[in-house]
Chain A
Amino acid sequence: MATGDVNNDGLPDIYFTANNTSGNKLYLNKGNFQFEDVTAKAGVAGKSDWCTGVTMADVNGDGWLDIYTSAISSKYNLKGHNELFINNGNGTFTESAAKYGLAFSGLTTQSAFFDFDRDGDLDCYILNQSHHPHANIVDTSNRRKYDPMSGDILLRNDVAATGKFTDISKAAGIYQSNLGYGLGLAIADFNNDGWDDIYIGNDFHENDYYYINNGNGTFSESGAQHFKHYSRFSMGNDVADYNNDGQLDIITLDMLPPDEKILKTYGSDENPDIYKVKLEMHGYQKQYSKNCLQRNNGNGSSFSETALISGVSATDWSWAPLFADFDNDGNKDLFISSGIVKRPVDLDYIRFVSDLDMRKGRQQTDKYDDMTIENMPDGSSHPFFFKGDGKLKFEDVSKAWGTAKMKGYFNGAAYADLDNDGNLDVVINCIDAPAVVLKNNAPAKTMVNLSLKGEGMNKFGVGAKVWMFTGKTMQYQQMMPTRGFQSSVDMRLHFGLDSVKYIDSILVVWPNQKYQLLKNVPAKGDMQLKEMESGGVFNYNEWFPPAKQSFENITGQIALNWAHRENEFLDYNKQYLIPHQQSTRGPKIAVADVNKDGLDDFYVCGAAGQPGQLMIQSAGGQFASVDTAIFGKAKDSEEVDAVFFDANNDGNPDLYVVSGGNEYYDGTPVLADNLYMNDGKGHFKRTENQIPSLLKNKSTVSVSDIDHDGDTDLFVGCLADARKYGIPQTSWLLLNDGKGTFTQAASSVIKLDSIGMITTSTFTDLNKDGWDDLVVTGEWMPLKIFFNNKGVFTENNISQSTGLWQTLLPADVNGDGNTDLLAGNWGHNNKFFTGKNGPLKLYVKDFDGNGSVEQIMCYTIDGKEYTFLAKDELERPLPVLKKSYLNYSDVAGKTVQYMFYNLFKDYLELKAENLATTCYINDGKGNFTKTVLPDEIQLAPVFAFAPVQKGDKVSFIAAGNFYGVIPYEGRYDALLPGVVSYNKSTGKFEVVGQISFAGEEVRDMRWIGASGGKRVLAIAQNNNPLLFVKQAE
């Protein structure tokens, strides 16, 4: 459907498309929510059998809005073609698609008119669907094949020269194959280069397309360089700057149900290896079935997907998203239409169809079609409203705004201020039901309805950009009516201004890059900007200079020829229910000046099959690997941590390397740790029999002279039994005899039996008694503090601190002289946090008594615990569950206690009460206050912190990301290393910077001292080369 003022009376009119022949409708807005059906008189019913999208645009540049409808035709016996109704300016229209060369007949979803070549007239993009989704996955190498029915089409407006639009798709670089199943179409200048780009949402296997406009008549599809993942079954989309940072962000819709019961009857994603075969081995990018909110990290350089933490990931079978400021508070809100008449993906329904196939031969006859459809569950939903906070988050306000109780199938939608009362109303085209007009009753606030008066052939200024500055805030919108799903919105840009009376300034940039700046503009509702009043040539970088980078990437200068290569090992293939992989924790780095030349050297751990490397720094700041034969002997070990320390009190840094990897059984020789002694010249030799044989799957080592006997002792942490994730493990304190031989400390010194699955450890003096205390934590663990009383430790847990902890950094963040604890956790951008309000739990037991341990992960909603995984996944290792429940609906929406009935007893219960990356602030007396780091840091698990000193100001880089999860959980790839500092006056952390280029899985960050007192930060990313950055001057 479309809203737009077709008779230029100042009131937006409404056009609906229909899926029956000549069923489209045009309603004139008579004011005060009175509408008149003028379809017949206007001649816009159309002739096509099945219309899909509609967009309004002044195609012939006469100042009157024309209507272009899209149609499914030439298939399924459907006749018709896309139709162009040229507005005669007298209440009538003339269908002129053929005349303009726009009478395409095929599988069109929607079309958009925009000036891609900046020649002043509107060109046309026609978005088509595929014939049918492919059962067999087609390799992406077929994208360049041409399909005349389903390939998208870009047409250049050559009306001035030839009277027609010209198909230039192929030359422009548009994919025209039948792989693309286009359902979402968004046009916007994502990279702020003044040329409009195209974002296409594709349903099914094909990933979305991101066409960057090269400014020379061609586009480059370059999604893979800018997006980490997409919606799997992309439906409609919308583009807007929802966080008021001047960058256009994207939302794409999918079909993830928000309701626990429906969720568990909805087919979940595949296992990781099947996902790999279907998508990755065929060249597709990662896609997950959920709405994706893609935050533009700046000029489209990269996008961070935050739908889960933002609260907009699941709105069921969804169609049209629309960003707009519905409550005029200056922040864009989000409308989403959803609902499907029948829900064919219901798993019980699939069982039913399968049985019907067998019993009645459904395939041979259509006799049972009615029965088939009748049994398909209803998929009704309600329109969603989310209130935006102008930053990262949206709150579901459907209840408060009055749409939560509506029930139906809400499809195409558009907004417009229908009664010109200053707030945006919404019109929805519904399936099998009358259309809905939602009148906005929000309390009055200041606002501007901005219309644009363009010159030449683009009379409505399509593509123009408007920035509005008020106080410290900026709002940005681009005029692009085609939005959401198969719909287009009113031609006025709506800016909510809350209580602002005067707008500091308004900047408008027209498609031809002429611009105008208006200052101190009263916020008085209707406003018009005229292209004829603009001038000059807009230079984006002058107006919006790029933020100064706090860090400079010098990886190229260092030119280290080494990359971490993770070995192919899927933990899930051994432990079906392990919550996430434990085998991709590398690489870690240890730093020391091993040859005493005043320049720091480093050791980087190798994955299984790859030796670790000792890298010696040269005067020129380059690094060369030495002693490769020595370290090569441990090639088969997965090295998970390393530390330099003086083991034998000869004044030279020796090296301890920890082995683990979650692949080898306990007792396997490659699980042995290695202690290498430094000969004082920077060369190393592996010691024999100086450390106990700890053939377990370990994770961490920390050093300190815990008994003040003049030598350095070790804590070595154990991660997990490589077959029994969840069972708490025993770690070790190893005491040094002064000559570098280590023995396990007695339990009278420290009790480390079954303390948990340790991921990280550190020695630090928390109570300022001069003795280093030991802090350890891990997954499903609290932060455990072992206070050191003159060499004897007493254990203390920070209360309610259980989490999925990955890293610790002791630091005095608030400058009060006490050491605080920065702790990296799983974050909030996940399905365990969003919509949940209790601890995440892990129940561990051999539930079916077959000798292998199962882990049942559950989240909590209103005190009730539900398994994270659905019935099918749990039944694989636990077929016993099938004995009791045949239907998915038997257990969908039921608690874990119900689902496991009498099997649910005598289990080990683990929990994670806090998922946030957190700083525990120390009062010096052993009390810690939880201070959660900002939302921007909670986008992914945090695996490393590094302190940053600038003058006397200390800040911290937090980095992470994690890919080793099942597709249903969805890999964590949204976090760019963020710099945070503690604000003493607010008692909170603030984000003060970002590293824009370390977007993979960061595992460690270490400062390396270079010549002239300079320092370089090494950033280690899993399965990647090391990155080196230096602090900008």
Chain B
Amino acid sequence: MKRVLFFLLLVVLLSACKEEGTKYSNVFDSPVLYAKTVKELNNVVMQNNFPPIIASRNYVYASIAAYEVVALGDDRFQSLAGQIKHLPKIPQQDLNNVNFQYAAILAFCKTGEAVTFPEGSMTAYRAMLDSLVKISGMNAAMKEASIQLADSVANHILRWSRKDNYAETRTGERYNITKEEGRWIPTPPAYAQALEPNWRDIRPMVMDSADQFTPPRPPVFNMTDKQSKFYQEVLAVKSAGDSLTDEQKHIAEFWDDLGNRTIVEGHVMFTAKKFSPPGHWMNIVGIAAEKAKVDFSTTVYAYAKTAIAMFDGFIQCWDEKYRSNLVRPETVINKYIDPDWRPYLQTPPFPEYTCGHSTVSASAAEALTDVFGDNFAYTDSSELEFGIKNRSFTSFRQAAVENNWARFYGGIHFHHSCLISTDHGKMVGELVNQRLKMKIK
């Protein structure tokens, strides 16, 4: 399917060339091509089972690399160096004869490839870019200059990325499972280990620290007092799950975004794959850019800002997850109410409070609202390739709010948590908008 899409794209671009005759034509100045490039990284992330928060890191460095190239070539945009306090200034570059769009795409690919695996995960895609160069009639000097700029910027970004504690957190202390009531334990059916318990140590982009927006304490675990806030929250998840309407099911599935849904058949346990939450929102950026008919630079800018908002959003959320270590509804309901109860969605492997998807949905929505404006109506077709119908929204913020119902209908979060998450994701997004001056004209 991927190849077919790409072939169609080639045909479109080729016909564009033909119209202009045999002369050089800048086929790279295409927001659609950039969106396609991001989607390509999205596929690498999905096929190789990167968990959502690591995916947010993959996207952010690749997107910033592309953005920094754009900022060098388009004076409407300024570099993030210094605005992201720890991002050093891009060294002086030779900008003569550079095709900035081509260079931005290359910088995205190079960075994206470096932060993912396996080695050469985007090789095939880059080969196709190479054939596009030929088709476009770009001369060797321009190609060379563009590649050089892309490499230089990508290397700069990668050097910077290596100081974000990612490598160190690979061997951080694992989550300790104890018998303490109300404390998170692994959930069925995969019973996977707690994901990234040390993500709070990852260097944020815009926030001063992981705990800048510490949420209020979650309701105290209490399954004896049926009037307690905690019990009521548990009961609400169960009752909602027991009587889902088709619309509610659609909402839950639409925002499922569980990168790896575990399926157990006999001795075999395997996974079914989908986009992750950040993957889904990266796709929404593409949809919005296409609908708004913005140019290449603005598209790159939109992706970068959204990626940054989600990256910090996950850090904020994960800081809280492993502060409160709150148990999942499924665990509590199985133990205290109904051993056979199953959530509509599969519970992902980390503590409940707060909700990662609601957090990054809200932070991404803020970033997108900043770029495209509020009340930007769009139809989200991201999930179609997984057989899930489109949904239409009147604004990004409406989508973020729907998300917090989706996690509740899915039976994997208390609604209280989702509301808190939307609030805090919004705070992160607002901070990103406030601190980063990217588009200056």
Contact = CB atoms under 8 A, between A and B. Distances in A.
B97 interface: no
Main secondary structure of the interface of B (DSSP, over half): loop
Contacts of A878: 170
B373 interface: no
Contact of B193 (A273, A357, A854, A885): A273
A950 interface: no
Contact of B264 (A135, A357, A882): A135
Given A273-B177, A345-B268, A884 B118 contact: yes
Nearest to A852: B171
Interface stretch (B134-142, B182-190, B320-328): B182-190
B179 interface: yes
Nearest to B43: A358
Contact of A573 (B176, B186, B267, B334): B176
B191 A884 contact: no
Nearest to B114: A883
Contacts of B117: 879, 882-883, 886
A135 B176 CA distance: 23
A640 B379 CA distance: 65
Given A354-B271, A883-B117, A884-B119, A850 B342 contact: no
Contacts of B178: 568
Contacts of A271: 193
A886 B271 contact: no
A138 B339 contact: yes
Nearest to B119: A883
B345 to A, nearest CB: 14
A850 B268 contact: no
A884 B120 CA distance: 9
Nearest to B330: A136
Contact of A364 (B168, B170, B185, B387): B387
Given A133-B267, A344-B267, A273 B176 contact: yes
A299 B186 CA distance: 40
Interface stretch (A276-284, A517-525, A743-751): A276-284
Contacts of A345: 267-268
A879 B118 CA distance: 10
A361 B266 contact: no
Interface in A261-280: 267, 270-271, 273-274, 276-278
B267 A274 contact: no
B292 interface: no
Given A135-B264, A137-B188, A877 B119 contact: no
B269 to A, nearest CB: 7
Interface in A117-140: 132-133, 135-139
B2 to A, nearest CB: 9
B177 A358 contact: no
Contacts of A135: 188-189, 264
B314 to A, nearest CB: 18
Nearest to B194: A273
A100 interface: no
B47 interface: yes
B191 A357 contact: no
B270 A353 contact: yes
B167 interface: yes
B192 A274 contact: yes
B19 interface: no
A344 to B, nearest CB: 5
Nearest to B177: A273
A848 B162 CA distance: 13
B268 A281 contact: no
Nearest to B264: A135
A355 B267 contact: no
B272 A350 contact: no
Size bin of chain A's contact surface: 35 or more
Contacts of A353: 268, 270
A572 interface: yes
B20 interface: no
A278 B265 CA distance: 17
B177 A277 contact: yes
B231 interface: no
B174 A573 contact: yes
Interface string A727-751: 0000000000000000000000000
A687 interface: no
Contacts of B191: 137, 270, 274, 277-278
Given A142-B339, A276-B177, A136 B1 contact: no
A866 interface: no
A386 B188 CA distance: 40
Interface string A234-270: 0000000000000000000001000000000001001
B4 to A, nearest CB: 13
A96 to B, nearest CB: 35
A359 B386 CA distance: 9
A65 B276 CA distance: 63
A573 B263 CA distance: 27
Contact of A576 (B174, B185, B266, B271): B174
A905 interface: no
Contacts of A133: 264, 266-267
B249 interface: no
A344 B272 contact: no
Contacts of B208: none
Contacts of A883: 117-119
A270 B177 CA distance: 14
Given A138-B339, A274-B186, A277-B185, A572 B174 contact: yes
A899 to B, nearest CB: 14
B175 interface: yes
A358 B342 contact: no
Given A274-B191, A884-B119, A358 B272 contact: yes
Residue among B117, B168, B267 having the largest count of chain A Cβ atoms under 10 Å: B267
A576 B47 CA distance: 25
B118 A882 contact: yes
A668 interface: no
A99 interface: no
A946 interface: no
Given A271-B193, A274-B191, A357-B270, A136 B170 contact: no
Nearest to A351: B270
Interface string A345-382: 10000110111011101011000000000000000000
A233 interface: yes
B46 interface: yes
A526 B168 CA distance: 73
Nearest to A376: B268
A344 B268 contact: yes
A852 B179 CA distance: 29
Nearest to B272: A357
B339 A344 contact: no
Interface in A854-910: 854, 876-879, 882-886
A226 interface: no
Given A135-B189, A883-B117, A884-B119, A850 B167 contact: yes
Given A357-B272, A358-B273, A273 B188 contact: no
A851 interface: yes
Given A273-B176, A357-B263, A852-B171, A363 B272 contact: yes
Contacts of B48: 882, 886
Contact of B339 (A139, A568, A882): A139
Interface in A159-178: none
A359 B1 contact: yes
Q: Closest 9 CB pairs between A and B?
A: A135-B264, A573-B174, A850-B167, A135-B189, A136-B188, A852-B171, A358-B273, A882-B117, A357-B272
20 contacts: A132-B266, A133-B264, A274-B191, A274-B192, A281-B185, A344-B265, A344-B268, A353-B270, A354-B271, A357-B272, A363-B263, A363-B272, A570-B174, A573-B175, A850-B168, A851-B168, A879-B117, A882-B48, A883-B118, A886-B48
Given A136-B188, A344-B268, A572-B174, 9 more contacts: A274-B193, A278-B191, A344-B267, A354-B260, A358-B273, A570-B174, A574-B173, A850-B167, A852-B171
